[in-house]
């Protein structure tokens, strides 16, 4: 009876199967690495802005409160971006000839608003309301990091689903009193104080962690 396959066929078949498995594993590892990389999440990336605004200087150095520039963060879904009028409150008197502030002066003269590029941007299919989070005691640093140390604003968190869900499943441990929400420094207190405050917040604000990880909370 004639032999259909050569003796080496079994070797090549095994090699092909092994190669396919290695390629599959390598693809999965590469996909997982990409999903967690700064290239995919944009974490640590800086976006070009019309003016090189330094949070390190204005927040860390001068002590400006977040709400001075982000005026609707307590009352709207959107935090709001600083208008030319807000910039000129100071810069009509300070650094009035600085070349880097020329776009601000031009905007003031022409009436054309500054076009800021958003750094912390969620996908369109995700609903996020700043006012709700601020009203419940979620500090700005939870999502935006230590902006007081950023010469140029960059994305501090990945803003992936895990990040949001992890916080929603254990929100009470992340809350701070209303007067400490915009503090650059994370609040330092004992576990006893934090647990007491969390219990009071859960009761006063009617926060139910069992409800917060439902799909329709963020996807509407």
pLDDT at 41 (0 to 100): 67
DSSP for 53-116, written as a single string: --HIIIIIIT---HHHHSTTTTTSSS-----HHHHHHHHTTSSTT-GGGHHHHHHHHH-PPP-P
Q: Is residue 49 part of a domain?
A: no
> Are 187 and 137 contacting, i.e. CB atoms less than 8 angstroms apart?
no
Alpha helices in the chain (DSSP H): 9-35, 38-41, 55, 66-69, 84-91, 102-110, 130-136, 141-144, 161-169, 191-205, 209-212, 215-218
pLDDT at 25 (0 to 100): 80
User: CA-CA distance, 77 to 95, in Å (whole number)?
Assistant: 33
Q: Is residue 103 part of a domain?
A: no
Q: Is residue 64 part of a domain?
A: yes
Q: How many domains does the chain have?
A: 1
Q: Is residue 46 part of a domain?
A: no
Average pLDDT, the chain: 88
pLDDT at 214 (0 to 100): 92
| pLDDT above 90 for 149 | yes
Confidence band of 7 (pLDDT split at 50, 70, 90): low
Q: Is residue 9 part of a domain?
A: no
- Fill in the DSSP letter of residue 166: H
pLDDT at 27 (0 to 100): 72
Tokens of 130: 């700043």
Mean pLDDT over 30-53 rounds to 75
Domain that holds residue 176: 55-81+116-218
Beta-bridge partners for 154: 46
pTM value is 0.79
Tens of pLDDT, residues 75-95: 999 999 999 999 999 999 999
Q: Is residue 30 part of a domain?
A: no
- Give the list of residues 6+ apart from residue 181 with CB closer than 8 angstroms, or none: 134, 137, 138, 139, 140
pLDDT at 114 (0 to 100): 95
Q: Is residue 39 part of a domain?
A: no
> Are 137 and 178 contacting, i.e. CB atoms less than 8 angstroms apart?
yes
Q: Is residue 69 part of a domain?
A: yes
Q: Dihedral sign, CA of 32, 218, 72, 85?
A: positive
């Amino acid at each position: 009876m004639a032999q259909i396959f050569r003796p080496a066929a079994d070797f090549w078949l095994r090699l092909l199967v092994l190669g396919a498995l290695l390629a599959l594993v390598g693809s999965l590892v590469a996909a997982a690495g990409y999903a967690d990389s700064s290239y995919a999440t944009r974490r640590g990336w800086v976006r070009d802005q019309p003016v090189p605004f330094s949070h390190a200087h204005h927040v860390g150095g001068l002590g400006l409160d977040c709400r001075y520039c982000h005026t609707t963060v307590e009352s709207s879904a959107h935090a709001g971006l600083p208008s030319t009028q807000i910039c000129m409150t100071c810069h009509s008197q300070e650094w009035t000839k600085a070349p880097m502030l020329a776009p601000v002066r031009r905007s003031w003269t022409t009436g054309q608003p500054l076009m800021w590029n958003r750094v912390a941007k969620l996908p369109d299919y995700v609903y996020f309301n700043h006012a709700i989070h601020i009203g419940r005691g979620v500090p700005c640093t939870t999502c935006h990091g230590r902006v007081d140390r950023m010469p140029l604003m960059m994305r501090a968190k990945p803003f992936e689903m895990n990040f949001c869900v992890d916080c929603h499943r254990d929100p009470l441990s992340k809350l701070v009193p209303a007067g400490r929400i915009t503090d650059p420094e994370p609040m330092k207190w004992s576990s006893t104080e934090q647990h007491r405050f969390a219990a009071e917040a859960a009761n006063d604000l009617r926060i139910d962690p069992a409800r917060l990880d439902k799909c329709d909370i963020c996807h509407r």
